[in-house]
């Protein structure tokens, strides 16, 4: 009697399974296959290009609210990296930023160069701001924008915070001219960019709205930085 070779049989079983699965797939009505393909390609074509607006140095008693008004009208979310020293007296603005779905980050207490501080002092500085924000919003920020873009090594482990720099500098603090700021941003911008602005100048308010209007026309979707990192 011929012996059955079980090793060969072991090879045949997966092959048979694949053939059977192939037959099941082939039996699908063709229209279902074509519908799902169309749905996928439409989704890809309509996928918005994500981009993030970030505002440093606030909250400002007038300009931050003006920016919030303009962003609300345009249904845009942004990220505000606030200075601890500017929170006192502007607690309602911090609350409003939170309530309107924007993200609040830490920009140090006094716009200090973190690299010039001892690790412990830098930690205390950022912690103080986190506590101020928490006292108002009930949420500890996890994103930090180091002043001058200089991050103190080792702080991220100690603080459990994520440093966020930028990819497009609007130079709004330097240009102080809405048209020039808009041109400077719009010519450089691409999908996934993080734009640096300051809610500290009236020209930045005007420029922000023009940038949003222009980039929304180009199919950009403004999101908070946590969606890009
Ligand atoms: Zn700053």
pLDDT in tens, 80-89: 999 999 999 9
With vertex at residue 168, the alpha carbon angle to CA 62 and CA 44, rounded to the nearest 5 degrees, is 105
How far does Cα 146 stand from its chain's mean position? 16
Residue 219 has pLDDT above 70, yes or no: yes
* 58 Cα–ligand 1 center, Å: 9
Residues 165 and 184 in one domain: yes
Compute the mean pLDDT over every residue in the chain, rounded to the nearest whole number. 87
Contact criterion met (CB below 8 Å) for 174 and 164? no
Q: Do residue 85 and residue 128 come from a single domain?
A: yes
As for how many domains the chain has, the answer is: 2
pLDDT value of residue 45: 58
Between 11 and 212, whose confidence is greater?
212
Residues 20 and 64 placed together within one structural domain of the fold: no
203 and 102 part of one domain: yes
Residues 143 and 205 in one domain: yes
Q: Are residues 94 and 151 in the same domain?
A: yes
Dist CA 206 CA 179 (whole Å): 9
Do 138 and 185 fall within a single domain? yes
56 assigned to active site = yes
Q: Which domain holds residue 39?
A: 6-46
Rg (CA), the chain: 26
66 and 124 part of one domain: yes
* Annotation says 198 is catalytic: yes
Q: Which CATH number do you get for residue 88?
A: 3.20.20.370
User: Of 60, 193, 198, 199, which residue is the catalytic one?
Assistant: 198
**Helix (H) / strand (E) containing 175:** helix 172-175
């Amino acid at each position: 009697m011929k012996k059955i070779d079980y090793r060969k049989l072991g090879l045949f079983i997966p092959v048979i399974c694949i053939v059977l699965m192939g037959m099941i797939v082939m039996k699908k009505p063709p229209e279902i296959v074509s519908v799902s393909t169309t749905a996928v390609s439409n989704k890809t074509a309509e996928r918005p290009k994500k981009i993030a607006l970030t505002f440093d140095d606030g909250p400002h008693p007038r300009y931050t609210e003006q920016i919030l008004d303009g962003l609300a009208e345009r249904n845009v979310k942004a990220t505000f990296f606030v200075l601890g020293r500017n929170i006192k007296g502007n607690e309602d603005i911090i609350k409003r930023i939170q309530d309107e779905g924007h993200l609040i980050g830490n920009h140090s207490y006094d716009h200090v160069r973190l690299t010039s501080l001892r690790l412990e002092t830098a930690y205390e500085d950022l912690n103080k701001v986190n506590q101020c924000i928490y006292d108002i919003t009930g949420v500890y920020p996890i994103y930090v924008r180091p002043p001058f873009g200089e991050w103190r090594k080792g702080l991220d482990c100690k603080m459990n915070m994520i440093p966020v720099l930028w990819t497009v500098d609007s130079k709004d603090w330097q240009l102080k001219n809405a048209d020039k700021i808009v041109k400077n941003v719009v010519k450089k911008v691409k999908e996934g960019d993080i734009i640096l602005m300051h809610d500290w100048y009236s020209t930045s308010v005007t420029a922000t709205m023009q940038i949003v209007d222009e980039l929304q026309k180009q199919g950009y979707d403004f999101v908070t930085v946590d969606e890009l990192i």
